[in-house]
Amino acid sequence: MAALPPRKNPTPTKISKQHLTPLQILLQMGFPKHRAEKALAATGNRGVQLASDWLLAHVNDPFLDECAPREYILYACPTGPFLQQLENFWAQSREACGWNGAHNFTPHITLVSFFKAPDECAPQLSKALKELMNLPGARIDRPIGLELYTSPNFMGFFVAEDDANYLKRLALQYVKEVSHSTISLEPHVKSLHLTLAYQFPSGQFNALKTLVEGLDASCTDANWELRLYSRDPRLVSKQVHKVLYPHTPRETDELELRIGDYIYLNPEAIQASSDGWVEGISWLTGTNGYLPENYTERTAESDAWTMHRTVPLCDVRVPDETSDVVDGVPMSTPTVLPEANDAASPALGQCESQPDTVPVTSDKAPQPTTEQQPTADERTNSGKMFGSTKTQDEFPLERLHELVKKHVSNMQVIPGDEGVQQQTVSKPESSTRKVYLMRHGERIDFTFGTWVPYCFDEAGNYIRKDLNMPKTLPTRKSCLWQKDSPLTNVGRYQALLVGEGMKDAGVNLAKVYCSPSFRCIQTATSVLEGLGLKATVPICIEPGLFEWLAWYQDGIPEWLTSEELIAADYNIDREYKPMTTAEKLKDHFHEKLGEFYCRNSDIAESIISSTEGNILIVGHATTLDTCSRFIIGEKTRSTNDMGRIMQKVSYCSLAVMESDGTEDANTENNIKGHWKLTVPPCDPVTHTNNSRFDYKVLSD
C-alpha cells in the first residue's frame, strides 16, 4: 500500500476545534449561553459532559432561566490526621449532644465570606486562586497555629496571630485579584477561627467541653488547603437533608426522591408540618415538591456545595513509609497528595439512579445501614447520574478516600472490651419478666422497588425474578402485595439468626404477638424457628400493633386472614381475640402522632397485664419506641424525633423491656414506670449491601 503523503496545510477548522472551550462546545450543541454558563458554574467547570448532564437533569428546574448569581466562599480547610480528629469530634458531638451550628459546615477557617458572582466569572475565580498560590512565598512550611477557646455559647480554635496575619494577607490579595464591577467581595476581617460548636443548648456545655478538650491542635502532620466553594442561591436560609430512602411520587405535587440526592428544606416548614410531609427543592434536578421528611436526614449544608478549586496552603508533607495514611486512615502505600484542579461538588457523580419504590404509606424506615440498590436495567449506564464512573487516575487521592470513607461510614463498630469480642454462651436469663420488641426483616419492595408488575403474569401467578425473592407466595390478588410486602429471603434469614441468637442466650417465650402485616408474620415465624418454638408457640395477630395510620391516607392494606395464613403453613392462634380490629383502624386514618403512641402502648400494656412469662412483639420500625415509650415512663416524641429514631432502627432490630419485679409491673393501669430498657440477649444483625449483578457488564 502506498504511503499517505503529508498535507501541506492542515485543515484550519480542525485546529480551531481542538481549542474550543467547554462553553463554546455547549453553544455549538445548541444550549443557550446563559444556561451553558449556569451549568458549567454549577458543576465546577469540570467539562462538557458533566455540564450537559446537569442541564438534562435540570430540564424542569423552574430556576433554570433566572439570572441569579451563585454565592462563593473561600475556606482554609485542614487535611490529614487533624481532619480525622475533627471528623470524629463532629460525629461524637452530634451523637452525644445533638445538632449544633458547627455541624452545618465542613471544618474550616473562613477567609472570604459569601459573595455573589455571575456564572461567566466562575473560571476566573478558580484560576485566580491557583495563580495566587503559585506566587513565590505563598505557601507556608508549618501547620497553622491554633489556640483553644471555650465559652458558654462558642467553642473553637483561634488562629495564632502570625498565622492569622498571613491568612488575612492571602485573602486580601485574592479579593484584589477578582474584584471588579460585577463582583463585590471583602476578606474576613474578624478574628480568624475554626468553629467547633455554637448554637448549642446550655445544658450541653460540659459534655461538649469534655470532647473539645480531647482534641490535639498541635498535630505536626497537619496539612491545610484553600478551597473555593459555591452554592445555589436558593440554599440560603434552608436546611440540607440527604435522601435516605427512594420515593416515587403518587401525586403531581410530590417530589421524587433518589438515593444520593440532597433536598433543601425550610426549617419553619418542618416544624409546622402536621403530617410529616414538607415542601423541598431537589439539589439533583432543581424541581420542588412535597416529600416525607423522615425519608431524609439532616446533613451539613456544605455537602450540597460545589467545590471549584483546591490548592495546598502548606508544603505537602509526605508521610513516612511506616505510617502510610490518608486523612488518618492507613493505606497500603505511601502517597503524595496531588493538587486538585477544578473539583466538582462532593456529591456530583455519585448519585445512583434508583428503582421505583413502594408509596410512602408503607413501613417508613427501610434499613438505614444499607443503601437501596438500582435494578439491572437502571445500571446499564454505569449507574451514575452525572457522567461515567471515574478511575483512580482521574480522582485526586483524597477524593478517592472520601468516596471509600462514605461507603464504610454506615458500618457499625462491633462493641467489645478492649477489642475482645464477647463470646456467645448459652445461659438462662434472669427471672424477671421481659418483653422483646422487634422490627421485621428486609422487605421486597424496599429492596427491588416496584416489583409486582414484573413478578406476576396476566393470570396472577407469581414468578420469582431474583434468588433473594421467595420461591412461592400465598395465593391472593397480586395488587394486594403492593401495600403488604413480603420479606426477601435475606429478611427471613435475618429473623432466623435473631431467633438462634435468642436461643443461644437461653431466651424462652410464652407468647408472641404480631402486626397483621405479612412481613411481620414471616419475621415472627422465622424467629420462632430459630428458637425451636415454631410448632409449639402460635402467633397472635394484633391489628392494634400496625404502624401509624396517617401514612395510609388511601386506605390500610388488606391483610391475609388467619385461615389463609394457616393454609400457607403459618402457626396462627385461632383462639386469640384481637384488642383492636382492622375495621376500627379503618375509621382512624386521621390518627395524630400522640394517638398512635397511645394505641401501640395501650396494646402493649394490655398484653403485659393479661399474660405471664416473656413476650415477643413483632412489628415495624416504630414499634420498638411506641410500645415501650410510655411503659418506661417517658413522654410522646415529636414527629421529627420519631423519624430520627426510626432511621436508626434497622431490619430485625431487637429491643428489650425488663420488669422491676414488683406486682404493679404486671397490673393494668400501674405498669408505667415499672419497666426499663435493658441490653438485648443477642448481638444485632449487621451486613453490607449487595447490588444486583448483570453479566453483560463483562462484555462492555
pLDDT tens-digit map of 543-587: 999 999 988 878 889 999 999 999 999 999 999 999 999 999 987
Query: In the predicted model, is pLDDT for residue 119 greater than 80?
Result: yes
Segment among 175-184, 255-264, 351-360, 448-457 with least mean pLDDT: 351-360
Q: Which fold has domain 70-408?
A: Cyclic Phosphodiesterase; Chain: A, (3.90.1140)
Decide if 108 contacts 75 (C-beta within 8 A).
Answer: yes
- DSSP H helical ranges for 158-246: 161-178, 205-212
Spatial separation of the C-alpha atoms in residues 67 and 120, rounded to whole Å = 11
The confidence score (pLDDT) of residue 142 equals 81
Residue 185: pLDDT over 90: no
The 10s digit of each residue's pLDDT in 502-518 is: 999 999 999 999 999 99
Average pLDDT, the chain: 82
pLDDT of residue 406: 39
Task: Give the model's pLDDT for residue 384.
Answer: 32
**In which band, very low, low, confident or very high, does the pLDDT at 342 lie, cut at 50, 70 and 90?**
very low
**Per-residue pLDDT band at 339 (split at 50, 70, 90):** very low
**pLDDT score, position 648:** 86
Which pLDDT belongs to residue 1? 58
Locate the DSSP E strands across 217-260.
223-231, 239-243
pLDDT (tens digit, 9 = 90+) per residue, 148-174? 999 999 999 999 999 999 999 999 999
Q: Residue 658 has what pLDDT?
A: 94
Q: Per-residue pLDDT tens for 96-118?
A: 899 999 999 999 999 999 999 99
Return the pLDDT at 660: 83
Q: Across residues 377-405, what is the average pLDDT?
A: 34
Cβ atoms of residues 440 and 652 within 8 Å: yes
pLDDT of 317 over the 80 cut: no
Quick one: pLDDT band at residue 65, thresholds 50, 70, 90? very high
pTM assigned to the model: 0.52
Q: Are 89 and 212 a contacting pair, CB within 8 Å?
A: yes
Mind listing the pLDDT tens digit for each residue in 240-250? 999 999 999 98
Give residue 299's pLDDT. 95
CATH architecture of 434-450+485-678: 3-Layer(aba) Sandwich (3.40)
Q: Indicate which residues carry an active-site annotation.
A: 439-440, 620
Higher pLDDT, 397 or 498: 498
Determine which of 206-220, 317-331, 437-451, 594-608 has the lowest per-residue pLDDT on average. 317-331
Nearest to residue 170, comparing CAs of 80, 81, 109?
109
Domain ranges of the chain: 22-67, 70-408, 434-450+485-678
- pLDDT of 10 reads 56
Per-residue model confidence as pLDDT tens digits over 475-493: 898 889 989 999 999 999 9
Q: Is the pLDDT assigned to residue 494 strictly greater than 60?
A: yes
Label residue 340 by pLDDT band (50, 70, 90). very low
Summary count for the chain: helices (H), strands (E): 19, 20
Separation CA 571–CA 509 (nearest Å): 15
Q: What is the pLDDT of residue 403?
A: 36
Output the nine-digit C-alpha cell for 13: 477548522
pLDDT digits (tens, 9 = 90+) for 594-639: 999 999 999 999 999 999 999 999 999 999 999 999 999 998 888 8
Q: For 284-301, how does the pLDDT look when each residue is reduced to its tens digit (9 = 90+)?
A: 999 999 999 999 999 999
Residue 188 has pLDDT above 80, yes or no: no
DSSP assignment, residue 638? P
Share of the chain above pLDDT 70, in %: 80
Q: How confident is the model at residue 9 (pLDDT cuts 50, 70, 90)?
A: low
SS (H, E, C) 420-459: ECCCCCCCCCCCCCEEEEEECCCEHHHHHCCCHHHHECCC
- The CA-CA-CA angle for residues 656, 662, 668, to 5°, reads 80
CATH no. of 22-67: 1.10.8.10
| DSSP conformation letters of 21-65 | -HHHHHHHTT--HHHHHHHHHHTTS--HHHHHHHHHHTTT-TTTT
pLDDT, mean of residues 52-69: 92
Weakest-pLDDT range from 280-284, 302-306, 429-433:
429-433
